[in-house]
Amino acid sequence: MTSFQKVENWMHEMLTGHEKCCFNMFRMTRCTFRQLCIDLESKYGLLPSERMSILEKVGLFVYILSKAQSNRDAHERFQHSGETVSRIFKEVLDAMDGLSRDILRPRDPEFKEIPSQIVDDTRYMPHFKRINCDIEEGKEHLHFDLLFTYVLTGWEGSAHDSRIFLDTIGNPSLNFPKLPPGKYYLVDKGYPEREGYLTPYHKKRYHQTEFHGAIPRGPREIFNRAHSSLRSCIERSFGILKARWEILRTMPKYSLQDQNRIVCACFALHNYIRLSKVPDPGFKIIDEDPTFIPPEVSMDVECGSTQEVQRVSTNEMTKVREEITTSLMRSRRRRRRRSS
């Protein structure tokens, strides 16, 4: 049996054997993997070669992402030369660029709908009905259904989040999704206050871990707990993302440009798997327990120095925060009267 036949047999085993084998190797179900191959070929220009099928090319690519494998590791697994591994990885990455452009965007570009996660939960409706999405680290933009809708790469790791945030929203060429008047993003306490971006009350408890077994002290902490609870989808999504794609934790030595593209590809695959509607082991624990936050995921950004994070209070957002706080307190009093 040739090495080519051995790899074919291994791929066949992954895609016809136990579902767990495919997930452990490619971080997605067999059904989702096959559909991804079809889409990358039919929509994004990925082509088979004489000695390598689309299935094997995509398998090599997601194998490297899921295991953070080096060129040598992939060479041994797929029995192709190091040059071939590099070339095939770039081919699939080129196709993934197209998928990233199409899938990392708001599903409701006009932001007309109230997220169902708010509409269907009396803890948040009608108090937070004008919220659309969460922002994390100034670079990622996330909807409540755990889909990333904007990703910005290329900043150095030492850059402060507020600097990235202000540069992003102030640079039209970056195409950050702007909300219509009356809508706003949730941002945490590490961000400057701007119209359209709702921060929590400062110098009050905020993180969900601070409230476990403890009653909020006063209206402002009640608001902060609700605000933090809504933003917990950030921690859940990043936990799933980083657990699925080890390359985000241990990036091999690619060029900076390719590293940025690889990061976008991981976010795009996260969305693709979520949108497939196929039951996925990675999302299962989140779907079964919406309050679950994966361990070892950093919570919110810390505030920088007063020089770096400018607190520009806006009357509009102060008013919004106070209105929501009043609404939450009114709802709290009604529940107490009904239970007494």
Q: What is the pLDDT along the chain (340 residues), one digit of tens a residue?
A: 456 667 888 898 999 988 999 999 999 999 999 999 999 999 999 999 988 999 999 999 999 999 998 888 888 889 899 999 999 999 999 999 999 999 999 988 888 888 888 888 888 898 898 887 766 655 667 778 899 999 999 988 788 888 898 999 999 999 999 888 889 999 888 888 888 999 999 888 877 777 776 788 899 999 998 998 888 888 889 999 999 999 999 999 899 999 999 999 999 999 999 999 899 998 988 888 867 777 654 333 343 433 344 444 568 899 999 999 999 999 989 888 888 7
Query: What is the C-alpha separation between 204 and 338, in angstroms, rounded?
Result: 29
Shared-domain flag, residues 289 and 232: yes
Cut 0.85: pTM above it: yes
Shared-domain flag, residues 63 and 192: no
Shared-domain flag, residues 330 and 243: yes
Provide the pLDDT for residue 3.
Answer: 60
CB 30 within 8 A of CB 13: no
Strands (E), the chain: 131-136, 140-142, 148-151, 184-186, 197-198
Number of domains in the chain: 2
CB 186 within 8 A of CB 175: no
CB 27 within 8 A of CB 245: yes
Shared-domain flag, residues 191 and 261: yes
Position 74 in a domain: yes
Position 110 in a domain: no
Query: What is the C-alpha separation between 116 and 121, in angstroms, rounded?
Result: 8
Position 272 in a domain: no
Q: How many CB atoms lie within 10 A of CB 41?
A: 18
Domain that holds residue 237: 116-267+277-339
Shared-domain flag, residues 127 and 245: yes
Q: Is 210 exposed, middle or buried (0-12, 13-18, 19+ CB in 10 A)?
A: middle
Position 109 in a domain: no
Position 49 in a domain: yes
Shared-domain flag, residues 198 and 285: yes
Shared-domain flag, residues 15 and 134: no
Shared-domain flag, residues 156 and 261: yes
Provide the pLDDT for residue 38.
Answer: 98
Shared-domain flag, residues 145 and 84: no
Looking at 79, 103, 127, which one is the last position of a domain?
Answer: 103
Looking at 103, 134, 154, which one is the last position of a domain?
Answer: 103
Shared-domain flag, residues 120 and 36: no
Distance of CA 115 to the CA centre of its chain: 16
Looking at 45, 80, 103, which one is the last position of a domain?
Answer: 103
Position 108 in a domain: no
Shared-domain flag, residues 169 and 194: yes
Shared-domain flag, residues 308 and 159: yes
Provide the pLDDT for residue 307.
Answer: 38
Q: Alpha carbon of 247 to those of 63, 136, 254, 290: distances in Å?
A: 10, 20, 11, 26
Q: Single out the residue of 286, 291, 323 nearest to residue 129, CA to CA.
A: 323
Position 111 in a domain: no
Query: What is the C-alpha separation between 258 and 255, in angstroms, rounded?
Result: 5
Provide the pLDDT for residue 136.
Answer: 64
Q: Alpha carbon of 271 to those of 55, 99, 102, 169, 236: distances in Å?
A: 20, 10, 11, 23, 14
Query: What is the C-alpha separation between 266 and 180, in angstroms, rounded?
Result: 29
Position 153 in a domain: yes
CB 237 within 8 A of CB 271: no
